[in-house]
Structure 1
Amino acid sequence: MLLPVSRLQPRPLTLSTLPLRRVVLVSRPALWINTLGVALTGLWLSGQLWNTGAAWLTLLAYLTLPFNALIYGLNDVSDMAEDARSERKGGWQGARLRPHEAGSLLWSVAALNVPFLLALSWLLPPAAYLTLLLSAALFAGYSLRPLRFKTRPFLDGLSNVAYALPLLVPALMLGAPVPLLAFAALCAYAVGKHAFDAVQDIPADVAAGTTTVATRLGAGGSAGYALGWFGLSGALLWPLSPLSSAALWLVCGGMALKLRRQPTPAQAARLYALSIVSPWIVGAVSGVQLVYVLAQ
């Protein structure tokens, strides 16, 4: 059931938190791979895959529910008008908040994040901690005013390099070489995926008066824009893993080409499930390579 936009007015903040089950739904567990998997990849690239220290375990725990509640909770609070017009919200693709839930959700995000951030400030070296804070700040800036990068075409996607920053944390934490090439590849992937995923929301964003990279370029232009970033990502990844690069081009490039041939928000919505699992597919291919290396 879509909510009347006229009822989506901000309400005074309350000191209560949302039920945990509701917060978990807001955090979109299907997307936790985008934060948790990136950190695990960073640990693999650091050459210390079996590290299980307190700092590492605390970081992994933070990158599940707390960090994703921050990413998507702030987004859902800011996007209530757009989400009210979106048929895909209200389930696994994202919560549809009711006005009285906004304040409670913000308190829930704070209650989940502050203790972890305090603990990690003590457990992590300064460079690793500041990198994690930068990622959180970019996600907050994407959703919250006055920055609200979401409403600034092209900057909206570029701010999504926040997804790549956790890749650097393990190396900075363990004193290992920073995987700059892998980081650049992941940044390019994140920018392209943002543009691709935003196409399905064009009707809701236009109706709400929200300007994004997708509303600016249109469905076809966004597909081509995403394809360019996916191509760059694969090229940057090639020296590290030709197999992973080929998988990225096949899956992500393929879905961008398919959208380019049929450039409509409805087509983007049909392809969104593939977009969601694309990190799992590329990650699984990389995992096969990892197992082979470990077996030698």
Structure 2
Amino acid sequence: MRALRTPAKSLSPALPLLPLRRLLVVSRPALWINTVGTLVTGVWLTGRLYTLDAGVLALLLYLTLPFNLLIYGLNDLSDREEDARSSRKGGWQGARLTVAEAGPLLRATLLLNLPVLAALALLLPPAATALLLTAAALFAAYSLPPLRLKGRPVLDGLSNVAYALPLALPALALGTAVPWAPLLALMAYSVGKHAFDAAQDIPADRAAGTRTVATTLGVRGTAAYALAWFGLAGALLWPVSQATAAALWLSCGGMALALFFVPTPQRAARLYPLSIVTPWVVGAVAGVGLVYLLARGLWTGV
């Protein structure tokens, strides 16, 4: 019997990984719209309602679980102390990791990202590869030492322009013009949204000794700061789509004003679901108009 049991032991992994179900939770599927939706919009902005380009399709798959695991898995690993104090973590808004999960999560994140990034470098033009690696590096730098940009006020939010970079990837992959106005608008929106979302975490971040743009400015200051970025984002979009700019000002500007007049972390937490929905709202307005123009042959790219 001992001889029969020995092979079974040898099959057990020396370096375990987290189960797929747990990896999905850590990757926050409710937020995949920020990567997948941005890439699809970037494809449409090239003037193509759809594309069968192998590089773009590979990017679409990569920007689901692997890339979001890079974004949120590394963040959860570095924020275990803050997350332990945050009542909103432990569900769809973010995982609350145990000490035993740290190693398996890091290994899974590296395994699902490094080989795929290497393969994408063979499929994509150099400019697209460089932009993708820049986005990945910014997200890693946000969470990990020695830079850990999350703990560097203002730089923490500016690094979130990485969320906007997938918008330009299809143009670089397909050899068309980069949509600069929408790209810059999405960058501004991303900086503002980061600040707004951080306002609810002020008590937990302060307790953990983490300095962010929100802990530095306070709730009201953070609301005003986010409002300024949302205003800039809408202004950049106005020449391209007035309807999209108006949707951004109403949804994002409205929630920032609501927080400004009732500046408490509890108010920020209650408004956070609206913040999660804003990419869907603004994206729907932009997408409907863009698809209409594409279908009528009236849009050939920006």
Q: TM-score range by the shorter chain?
A: over 0.9
Contact 2:41–2:287 (8 Å) recurs in 1: no
In structure 2, the partner of 1:239 is 239
Q: Deviations over 1:245-292 (max 9, x none)?
A: 000000000000000000000000000000001000011111221233
Q: Distance in 2 between matches of 1:261 and 1:98?
A: 38
In structure 2, the partner of 1:7 is none
* SS state at 2:184 partner: helix
Larger radius of gyration: 2
In structure 2, the partner of 1:22 is 22
Deviation at 1:295, TM superposition (A): 4.2
Q: Deviations over 1:48-98 (max 9, x none)?
A: 232112211110000000000000000000000000000000000000000
Q: Distance in 2 between matches of 1:46 and 1:177?
A: 7
* SS state at 1:121 partner: helix
Gaps of 5+ in 1: 1-13
- Paired AA for residue 185 in structure 2: A
In structure 2, the partner of 1:11 is none
Runs of 4+ that moved beyond 3 A: none
- Paired AA for residue 38 in structure 2: V
- Paired AA for residue 215 in structure 2: T
* SS state at 2:73 partner: helix
* SS state at 2:210 partner: coil
Q: Distance in 1 between matches of 2:50 and 2:73?
A: 32
List aligned pairs for 1:18-97, cutoff 5 A: 18-97=18-97
Q: Distance in 2 between matches of 1:56 and 1:191?
A: 26
Contact 1:189–1:229 (8 Å) recurs in 2: yes
In structure 2, the partner of 1:99 is 99
List aligned pairs for 1:1-296, cutoff 5 A: 15-296=15-296
- Paired AA for residue 226 in structure 1: A
* SS state at 2:107 partner: helix
In structure 1, the partner of 2:7 is none
- Paired AA for residue 164 in structure 1: A
In structure 2, the partner of 1:6 is none
Q: Distance in 1 between matches of 2:165 and 2:291?
A: 25
Q: Distance in 2 between matches of 1:237 and 1:246?
A: 9
Percent of paired sites with the same residue: 68
Contact 1:161–1:190 (8 Å) recurs in 2: yes
- Paired AA for residue 27 in structure 2: S
Contact 1:39–1:170 (8 Å) recurs in 2: yes
Gaps of 5+ in 2: 1-13, 297-302
Contact 1:18–1:104 (8 Å) recurs in 2: yes
* SS state at 2:16 partner: coil
Q: 1:166 to 1:291 in 2, by over 3 A?
A: closer
Contact 1:58–1:116 (8 Å) recurs in 2: no
- Paired AA for residue 115 in structure 1: P
Q: Deviations over 1:120-149 (max 9, x none)?
A: 011000000110000000000000000000
Q: Distance in 1 between matches of 2:216 and 2:53?
A: 46
Aligned-CA RMSD value: 0.9
- Paired AA for residue 270 in structure 1: R
Q: Distance in 1 between matches of 2:278 and 2:53?
A: 30
- Paired AA for residue 216 in structure 2: R
- Paired AA for residue 104 in structure 1: P
Q: Distance in 2 between matches of 1:135 and 1:240?
A: 25
Q: Which moved more, 1:161-170 or 1:48-57?
A: 48-57
Size of the alignment, in residue pairs?
283
- Paired AA for residue 232 in structure 1: L
Contact 1:214–1:222 (8 Å) recurs in 2: yes
